A and B are shown apart, each in its own frame.
Chain A
Amino acid sequence: MNNEKMIRQIRMFLGNFNLVPIYLAFLLLLALTTPEFFNTFNLRSTVTFSSILGFLVLGETIVIITKGIDLSVGSIASLSTVITAALMKFYGKELNNVLIFALCFAISILAGLGIGTINGFFVSYCKVPPFISTLAGLLIGSGFAFFILRGVPTPLAISSFRTIARGNFLIFPIPIPFFSLLIFGITFWYLLSRTSWGKYLYAVGGNEYASFLSGIDTKRIMLSAYQVSGVLAAIGGVMLAALSNAGFPRAAEGYEFRAITAAVIGGVSLSGGEGNLFSALLGIFILTTLGKSIIFWQISPFMEGIFIGSVLLGAMYISVKGKKKR
């Protein structure tokens, strides 16, 4: 009994169970075919990049759980890189570094919250289909991102900012983004599975009308999902700026689809009400590993899109098939 309970707890925590062996098998295959993949530099960069994308995946998953979709996460992240670069460019010499860093995060988060609010407002209060509403959010975000620095890729003026993406957490050899993703992941896992807010998210995605009848303010719950997604994407964007050491309106172009694909691989159902954060995060690690390994297989990096597209279709197919069986 106790054992069963433990297994259930672990399963609840990890979600889609069979992803772990799949990932391990994939890594094993990589180890056998391309051992050169496993150098410290490459591993670090894979983990760091996946972790940063992980922030977008977290938000995307939360939105998908409410039966929505958020196409704007990529452009919010891009906007954040631009905001970061611009703040450093204009105020870097006047203010001290810590203040600038805090400001970068704060203003990016505000911007993300703003776009998320617009998305959520139109989705929940105006009943605009989520992909249209967030497509507009995407365009507005990239419009602003362009507007701020006129579309010029701008390097970050303060080089120490790079530590946020490239440094280690304390003395351990863990990249900071991975560590912060872990903290955020656990926090949101707690919020989603242990608080009524999280439960309402699942309820709204599972059956909006029933939730409404149960006295849940469904519109506010949906709005909050998009807001959280915007904020998380903004945090991811600031880290992306730190990683690439530049701000650019196209910095995270198309990342929304990596996030969606990761969520779908992780078993998050696009028809709402189901999904687990950790398996979605595992999804992004799988996807990034696949993308990185392509280079080692002497395949043109241009073909990454073909891989991601096919993986997305395949994962969707399995998810729809699985739904039908039940």
Chain B
Amino acid sequence: MKVERKEERIALKIILYIFRNYSVYVTFFLILIVSGIVSRGIFIRPTNLWAVMLRSSILGLVSLGQMLVVMTGGIDLSVGSLFSLSLTIMALGEFTRINPYIAIILAIGGGTMVGLLNGIIVVTTKIYPFIVTFATMMILESFNLTILGAAAFNFPTIQGALLSIMNFLHLDETILSVALWVIATSVTFFMCRYSTFGHNLYAAGGNEIASVFSGVNIKKVKILSYTCSGFLSALAAVMAAYRLGGTNVGAGSGYQLNSIAAVVVGGVSLYGGVGNPIGVAIGSIVIAMLLNIMNILNVDPFIQNAIQGLIILGYVALSNYLQWLRLER
């Protein structure tokens, strides 16, 4: 009787481990195969895959920031509006005819600053992160709306500047964006594994009180993660700017949901302390593929969102269930 229980527990432990770490790969291949079939081959055409890669890279950058925040046990609902904010700043740059390169830097700087502000508010006031970032989201959306109005705004000068950067680097848009994404993911990966900040990040998310008792500066860790999230969202917006060629109010609105989905699918625990950048990168590809195939199949955005919601719910519920099984038995 007792031995059986022990074996059961070990089995559950292994299942949970596999689920946390490898389910994302399984999902990846499943979606790849299913997409190839249901789209009758459209999905696996090179041009489409190329588009998926661009989308994954932009979503991947945003999700990476989201991951850093979720790992501390928080959540950043403002990533989408931060994305829009950066585009708005570039539009403002175009409008005021300042040097486009400066506008791009300002766009990234602006996003980073708002991320920093999120972090500072979260640690100093102790308000729940999702309330803080939600308020930021509302404020930023309202700001974007005030600046842009309901109309779309193009920024050819910025686009030109981005093009000349690409020409200078001899890279095309997708490659540049993917390269940046790969670099950011690798840097985060190594940082998580081999730096004090990384160790502190995992510890702070896993058990905040124990981390304080181990000398971890929780406030610094949290502020840094929100700042990184702001920076990465802004960077993603700049990467997307060339393809978009302009902006409107809803430009970044999907990213909060997409990034949460990518992070959850990528095996990051919403309670903090568990996660890995590679998983999140694959998770971003999974969500990008899903969005792409749903577009090919002409699924309405509302239904797309509902499907994403179900995926998030299913993942969280399943991993909670496995965790519960392991602890209760």
Contacts and interface: CB of A to CB of B under 8 A. Distances in A.
Q: Do A and B come from one complex?
A: yes
Interface of A: 69, 122, 126-129, 131-133, 135-140, 142-147, 150-151, 249, 254, 257, 260, 270, 300, 302-310, 312-313, 316-317, 320, 324
B321 A309 contact: no
A50 B309 CA distance: 29
Contacts of A69: 130
A136 B312 contact: yes
A303 B313 CA distance: 33
Contacts of A128: 313, 316-317, 320
A138 B308 CA distance: 11
B138 A126 contact: no
A295 to B, nearest CB: 14
A147 B302 contact: yes
11 contacts: A129-B316, A131-B130, A132-B316, A139-B305, A140-B310, A249-B302, A270-B128, A304-B142, A306-B146, A308-B138, A320-B125
Given A143-B307, A260-B131, A316-B127, 19 more contacts: A126-B316, A128-B316, A132-B313, A137-B309, A139-B310, A140-B306, A140-B309, A142-B302, A145-B302, A146-B303, A305-B143, A307-B142, A309-B134, A312-B135, A313-B135, A316-B125, A316-B132, A316-B135, A320-B126
Nearest to B147: A302
Interface in B241-272: 257, 260, 270-271
A182 B313 CA distance: 36
A207 B313 CA distance: 25
A310 B135 contact: yes
B58 to A, nearest CB: 21
A186 to B, nearest CB: 30
Contact of B313 (A133, A147, A302): A133
B305 A313 contact: no
B313 A136 contact: yes
A126 B139 contact: no
B95 to A, nearest CB: 17
Nearest to A130: B130
A122 to B, nearest CB: 6
A270 B145 CA distance: 29
Contacts of A257: 134, 138
A254 B142 CA distance: 12
Residue in B136, B138, B303 whose Cβ sees the most chain A Cβ within 10 Å: B138
Given A143-B303, A300-B146, A320-B125, A306 B313 contact: no
B121 interface: yes
A231 B121 CA distance: 35
Given A142-B305, A151-B302, A302-B146, A309 B139 contact: yes
A320 B320 contact: no
Contacts of B131: 260, 270, 312-313, 316
A127 B324 contact: yes
B310 A305 contact: no
Contact of A143 (B75, B128, B305, B321): B305
B141 interface: yes
A300 B307 CA distance: 35
Contact of A309 (B136, B149, B305, B306): B136
A23 B107 CA distance: 40
A309 B316 contact: no
Contacts of A249: 302
A122 B126 CA distance: 27
Contacts of A320: 125-127
Interface string B104-137: 0000000000000000010001111011101111
B300 interface: yes
Contacts of A151: 300, 302
Contacts of A144: 306
A324 B128 CA distance: 14
A106 B146 CA distance: 40
Interface in B278-310: 300, 302-303, 305-310
A222 to B, nearest CB: 15
Nearest to A264: B131
Given A257-B134, A302-B146, A310-B139, A317 B303 contact: no
Nearest to A72: B309
Nearest to A145: B302
Contacts of B149: 302
Contacts of B270: 129, 132
Nearest to A305: B142
Contacts of A305: 138-139, 141-143, 145
Contact of B321 (A126, A300, A306): A126
Contacts of B141: 305
B295 to A, nearest CB: 16
Contacts of B308: 139
A309 B135 CA distance: 4
Q: Which 10 residue pairs of A and B lie closest in terms of their CB atoms, listed nearest first? A: A143-B306, A305-B142, A139-B309, A146-B302, A136-B309, A309-B139, A309-B138, A136-B313, A302-B145, A309-B135
A314 to B, nearest CB: 9
Contact of B312 (A132, A146, A306, A312): A132
Contacts of B136: 309
A257 B307 CA distance: 23
A138 B312 CA distance: 12
B143 A306 contact: yes
B248 to A, nearest CB: 13
Residue in B145, B303, B313, B320 whose Cβ sees the most chain A Cβ within 10 Å: B313
Interface string B17-48: 00000000000000000000000000000000
A233 to B, nearest CB: 17
B127 A313 contact: yes
Contacts of B305: 139, 142-143
A127 B320 contact: yes
